[in-house]
Structure 1
Amino acid sequence: MSRIQCERCLRPQSHCLCPLIPNLDSRTRVLLLQHPSEVKHALNTARLAALGLNNAELIVGEVFEDLPALLNRPGYQARLLFPGDDAQPMRAYRVSDLPLLLVVPDGTWRKARKMLHLNPLLAALPRVTLAEGGVSRYRLRKAPGPGALSTVEAIVQALESLEAPTTFAPLLKPFEALIEGQIAAMGEETFQRNHGPG
Structure 2
Amino acid sequence: MLQHPSETDHALNTARLAALGLNNAALLIGETFPDLPTLLADPVYQPCLLFPGDQAQTLVAPIEETDAKPLLLVVLDGTWRKARKLLHVNPALSLLPRIALPAGRQSRYRLRKAPAPGMISTLEAIVCALNLLEAPRNFDALLVPFEALIDQQIAAMGEQTYLRNHVNHVLAE
Structure 1: how far apart are the matches of 2:153 and 2:100?
29
Q: Secondary structure at the match of 2:125?
A: helix
Tell me if structure 1 keeps the 8 A contact 2:18–2:123: yes
Deviation string, structure 1 residues 103-135 (Cα, Å, up to 9, x no partner): 000000000111111111112211100011111
Matches within 5 A, 1:170-189: 170-189=141-160
The structural deviation recorded for 1:68 is 1.1
Deviation string, structure 1 residues 55-80 (Cα, Å, up to 9, x no partner): 10000000001001211222211100
69, 89, 92: which one pairs with 1:98? 69
Matches within 5 A, 1:48-67: 48-67=17-36
Deviation string, structure 1 residues 31-85 (Cα, Å, up to 9, x no partner): x000000001111000000000001000000000100121122221110001110
Runs of 4+ residues over 6 Å off in structure 1: none
Structure 2: how far apart are the matches of 1:75 and 1:88?
22
Tell me if structure 1 keeps the 8 A contact 2:5–2:31: yes
Matches within 5 A, 1:28-177: 32-91=1-60, 94-96=63-65, 97-177=68-148
The structural deviation recorded for 1:92 is 6.3
Q: Secondary structure at the match of 2:42?
A: coil
Structure 2: how far apart are the matches of 1:74 and 1:195?
46
The structural deviation recorded for 1:93 is 5.8
Which structure 1 residue ranges, 5 or more long, are not aligned?
A: 1-31
Q: Which deviates more, 183-192 or 67-76? A: 67-76
Task: Kindly report the root-mean-square deviation, in angstroms, between the aligned alpha carbons of the 2 structures.
Answer: 1.1
Which structure 2 residue ranges, 5 or more long, are not aligned?
A: none
**Cα distance change, pair 93–74 in 1 and its aligned pair in 2 (3 A):** farther
Structure 2: how far apart are the matches of 1:37 and 1:70?
23
**Cα distance change, pair 91–76 in 1 and its aligned pair in 2 (3 A):** farther
Tell me if structure 1 keeps the 8 A contact 2:61–2:132: no
The structural deviation recorded for 1:182 is 0.6
Identity of aligned residues (%): 66
Q: Which deviates more, 147-156 or 86-95? A: 86-95
Match of 1:23 in 2: none
Structure 2: how far apart are the matches of 1:94 and 1:194?
42
Q: How many residues align?
A: 167
Structure 1: how far apart are the matches of 2:125 and 2:147?
14
With structure 1 as the length reference, what TM-score do the two structures score? 0.82
Query: What amino acid is the match of 2:14?
Result: T
With structure 2 as the length reference, what TM-score do the two structures score? 0.93
